[in-house]
Amino acid sequence: MNAPPGMERVLFSEEQVAARIREVGAAIAEKYRGRDLKLIGVLKGAVFFLTELARAIDIPVQIDFLAISSFAGHGPGLVRIEKDLDEPIEGQDVLLIEDIVDTGLTAHYLLRTLAGRGPQSLAICTLLDRSIRRIVQVPVEFRCFEIPDRFVVGCGLDFKQLYRNLRYIAVMNPER
Ligand code: IMP
Ligand code: MG
């Protein structure tokens, strides 16, 4: 695919992303072997990461999805579940799969909500971590990459719903 307009540089190539997802998948398999692991993806951004990651984890896993809406510009932390999980998570080891943890507000809200449903354990795995922008602290158990304070697209991350299907992560200047 052609580079999107406004794209400044490739931050992580297709090969770097794939290699790192394999490493993190192996670490997850090691930690959860013999347990009842469920991956929960946050739609839509986490879909691409979740499918790659799930195939890099060589133990049986269940998957489920939820969708949220956030109200940017309406005060921090306003997040609502638009589509809930299909199944309960009680007693399961749950990994919340995110495309990016930025301010942490979304992840914080989701952790709180899911914790109330009685999982055996609950942790976060994110493709990207931009911890410099954190507003609320959230525990990130697994991360593929820490990134600088720049807007990025690709591997599930969008600009106006575009570029999620790029195989690499690119820094983009939406002004250009
Ligand atoms: P948080 O609640 O601030 O941690 O924001 C998380 C959500 O904002 C992510 O799940 C993304 O959908 C979106 N987001 C944050 N940074 C970026 C970015 O650089 N590119 C695309 N989407 C982003
Ligand atoms: Mg988005």
Q: Is residue 9 part of a domain?
A: no
- Ligand 1 within 6 A of 8 CB? no
Catalytic residue numbers read 102
Q: Is residue 176 part of a domain?
A: no
Number of domains in the chain: 1
Taking the CA of residue 106 as reference, the ligand 1 atom at the shortest distance is 2
Q: Is residue 160 part of a domain?
A: no
Best substitution site from 102, 113, 151 to test ligand 1's pocket, by max atoms within 8 Å of Cβ?
102
Q: Is residue 172 part of a domain?
A: no
- Ligand 1 within 6 A of 113 CB? no
The pLDDT value recorded for residue 1 is 74
Question: Residue 73 and residue 49: Cα distance in Å, rounded?
Answer: 27
Beta bridge pairs of residue 125:
97, 142
What CATH number should be reported for the domain holding residue 57? 3.40.50.2020
Taking the CA of residue 153 as reference, the ligand 1 atom at the shortest distance is 20
Taking the CA of residue 151 as reference, the ligand 1 atom at the shortest distance is 19
- Ligand that comes closest to the CA of residue 137: 1
The pLDDT value recorded for residue 102 is 97
Q: Is residue 171 part of a domain?
A: no
The pLDDT value recorded for residue 99 is 98
Q: Is residue 6 part of a domain?
A: no
Exposed/middle/buried for residue 138 (C-beta within 10 Å: 0-12, 13-18, 19+): buried
- Domain carrying residue 133: 15-70+79-149
Q: Is residue 168 part of a domain?
A: no
77: left (phi over 0), alpha (psi -120 to 50) or beta: left
Structure tokens, 174? 């939406």
Q: Is residue 97 part of a domain?
A: yes
Residue in this structure with the two tokens 């909500």, named with its chain if needed: 113
Q: In the sheet where 169-172 sits, what is the strand order? A: 7-12, 169-172, 152-153
Along the 176 residues of the chain, how does pLDDT read in single tens digits? 778 788 999 999 999 999 999 999 999 999 999 999 999 999 999 999 999 999 999 999 999 999 998 776 555 567 899 999 999 999 999 999 999 999 999 999 999 999 999 999 999 999 999 999 999 999 999 999 999 999 999 999 999 999 999 999 999 997 76
